[in-house]
A and B are shown apart, each in its own frame.
Chain A
Amino acid sequence: MSITPRVFLVDDQPAVLKALARLLVSAGFEVAPFESAPAFLDSGYAETPGCLVLDLSMPGMNGLELQQALAARDSLLPVIFLSGHGDIESGVQAMKFGAADFLTKPVDGDKLLRTVLAAFESNRKSRLERAELDDIRQRLAGLTPREREVLALVVDGKLNKQAAASLGTTEKTIKVHRARVMSKMRVSSLAELVRLADRGGIRAAAFDKP
């Protein structure tokens, strides 16, 4: 069903690019090499599964700038930085922007492969999470405004009676709404509903002051 994750390599030094690609290929990874940051951005791979192995300093757009550009595009690709000199300042900045790791050249093959594998794993997880969240959001989008209000009050821990009172309706009506919400959200217990609503970002407070 899903595409094989790939390692996207970006380095302005052709010899280094080639060698790293070989190493990753030898370990059985699929590799896509790029000689510059813009070349990668233009390739449209930012949304695909895998990870990015990125040289920190490059002419034109450097590694940090590419990382920020990807963040702006909401890309989930973990970024592994390679740096020639152990430039602490750049390293700190890269980690602040959410880099997966920061390795210094020359990099040991096993270490790089482990890091890549870890990055793949984290990418897989975040992609799953992203998919789950999308699902929840879709289900939430299927609710009517009245059902959402009921949902908010229910996850807030209000009893049907209290909810009816605060919405100015009968307890029976609330019960009907609540059953419909449970079925639309495809949950069977209240605890499950609370968890989904929480992940979907629904909070009672959002309705306190309409």
Chain B
Amino acid sequence: MLDLRTLALAAMMSGLVFFVATLALWRLVPLERSLRDWTVGALLMAVGNLLLGLRGIIPDFASIVVANAAVVLSLGFMYVGTRKLVGMAPGRPWHWLAAGAALVSCVVFTYVVPSVPMRVVLMSALYFPLGLACGWLFWHQDEAPTKAIDRLTALIFFGGAFLVVTRAIAATSLPLSTAYVSTPSWFVAAPYFYSTLLNVWMAIMLTLKVSARLQRQLAEVHSNRLRTTEAELRESEQRLTLAADAARLGIWIRDLGQDEIWASGQWRALFGFTPSQRLTLAQVLQRVHPADRRMVSQTFGQPRCEAGASEAAFRIELPDGELRWIVSLERVEFDAAGQPILIRGVSRDITVSKQAELEIEQKRMEVMHLARAAMLGELSGALAHELNQPLTAILSNAQAAQRFLAHDEVDFDELHAILQDIVDEDKRAGEVIRRLRQLFAKGETLSERVDVNALVLEVFHLLRKDLTNQAVTFQMDLAPELPAAKADRVQLEQVLINLVTNACDAMQSLATPLRLIVVRTAVGADQSILVSVIDQGSGVPAGDLEQVFQSFYTTKERGMGLGLSICRNIVSANGGRLWGENNPDRGASFHFSVPLHAAEAT
């Protein structure tokens, strides 16, 4: 039915298929090193089968010696490939030794002592251990997804080993017909059948194995990457926690779905909660100082519907009564539908810096108060005079009225006029006292509309007596229709009084007709109002123009050296600037600027 050549051709063709398949696999998956050996093995198998099939057509050396050696070598390469495939080292080059042995024995039993059975026995002896070893390796391969394939492959190898043993036994008793080419016996045909089966199966097996292996590696890579990402996440979270702890930042997250707040240990310590306590918004708000509670619940209680972070500083009261200043920053997060789902925030203890800030503010207010008190001392003469005028008028009017009443004829019109004058003068005295109280009042910096021109006039009235006594001419050069400034009126008045008093003092050594102070108001650059106090004194030594603003710098015999430094503080607190310069001819000018009132700014 089938002649030998057809069988050999089929074996060769299947060997070629095996070769092409492994070659393609090898090129596609070069990382699978065993495929190189399998490819070589497949090529040798195809060549060996071809040569065997051409027995009688080509010289015996090629069809017997070379062909057998090639097949042995092919199996050897498969063995190496198998070792590599199951993850073992390539091992020693036994396959070359086996191929050499096959070559030598074939030559010997073909040319020196021709004996077919001996050839068959020897070849079988070479095939058998290789097949058995390959089968063994496959049988014990423990790769779960391809277990069935491995077992089947092992069985095929074992089958081959069994076949060669059977052939070796049969070779001694079976007579070899010369007509085996046209009608081959099972003995001759079986190896070709087996070879075809082996080739086809190996091609399938390798494809399956490599695919499975790739799939597994892919999964491994994937899970490795997941593991790495997870580790990195943990790592970065730890780093964040460390940084947050180091910065004393408490972290909290409020889930808007449930009324529950997650908070870091640092945050719980900050707010005086135990690490395991369950937290709700109401509990947290309970900690907030009553004065700040409304503000906090408005800022953090209702999630706003716009993105962005909000910040608030507030006080909390711990159960033991300790007061802490906290600054909290929060950010709302939204779901895909734009609904707020959670609020994330950090809180920090700013008690120390807040206290320092409050202390500085306190100190500043005390210094300002001190300055006011000192100024009040300086002004007491002028104020006494201001009060004296109405008091004098009132007393004289009242005593005049008493005398008029003692007269025989009482002039009621005159009495009426006297009483009216007493009322007017009393009001004037009241106004003086009100002004005095204002100057003396300890208060925070206000931002009000200030008519600077009116302020200059008021200062002039306040200092008129001092100016008169020192024979100083006070000239007001006021800008018409000056817009209002935004400042604290009383503080500006203090600054102006100080500057005018300084100007007076600077001209004490001057002949009286030369004593002139000009106060000028103008609209300055960048939305400000500029006030200048210009004197005719000896000016300020050029190097001291900045030094005069330092505390305790004074040129006066009885000065504290606080006036100008406090003035500069006051002007800065009002958002302006105070500086001095020498006039080109004589004397010095001190200027200060204050911002325009918002309604006036353009």
A positions within 8 Å CB-CB of B? 13, 15-16, 18-20, 22-23, 25-27, 57-59, 62, 82, 84-85, 105-110
Contacts and interface: CB of A to CB of B under 8 A. Distances in A.
In the complex, the 10 A-B pairs of residues with the closest C-beta atoms, listed nearest first:
A109-B399, A26-B403, A19-B396, A22-B400, A84-B385, A106-B392, A19-B393, A23-B400, A105-B392, A26-B400
Contacts of A82: 392
Contacts of A58: 468
Nearest to A112: B396
B468 A16 contact: no
Interface stretch (B251-259, B329-337, B418-426): B418-426
21 contacts: A15-B390, A15-B424, A19-B392, A19-B397, A20-B392, A23-B403, A26-B400, A27-B403, A59-B468, A62-B468, A82-B392, A84-B384, A84-B389, A85-B384, A106-B391, A106-B395, A107-B395, A108-B399, A109-B395, A109-B402, A110-B399
Contacts of B381: 85
Contacts of A59: 464, 468
A158 B399 CA distance: 63
Given A105-B388, A105-B391, 12 more contacts: A16-B396, A20-B396, A22-B400, A25-B400, A26-B399, A26-B400, A26-B403, A57-B468, A84-B384, A84-B388, A107-B396, A109-B400
Contact of B399 (A13, A16, A23, A84): A23
B404 interface: yes
Given A57-B469, A84-B384, A23 B396 contact: yes
Nearest to B422: A19
From A22, A108, A110, residue with most partner B Cβ within 10 Å: A22
Give the bracket for the number of chain B residues in contact with chain A. 20 to 34
A19 B388 contact: no
A15 B403 contact: no
B120 to A, nearest CB: 147
A144 B61 CA distance: 194
Contact of A15 (B414, B425, B465, B468): B425
A22 B468 contact: no
B426 to A, nearest CB: 11
A204 to B, nearest CB: 49
A27 B388 CA distance: 23
A177 to B, nearest CB: 58
B394 interface: yes
Interface in B460-474: 464-465, 468-469
A91 to B, nearest CB: 14
A140 to B, nearest CB: 44
Given A19-B397, A84-B384, A26 B391 contact: no
Contacts of A22: 396-397, 400, 414, 418
Contacts of B403: 23, 26-27, 109
B394 A106 contact: yes
A100 B447 CA distance: 53
A107 B392 contact: yes
Contact of A16 (B393, B418, B464): B393
Contacts of B388: 84-85, 105-106
A185 B365 CA distance: 83
Nearest to A56: B469
Nearest to B390: A15
A15 B389 contact: yes
Interface string B371-397: 000000000010011001111111111
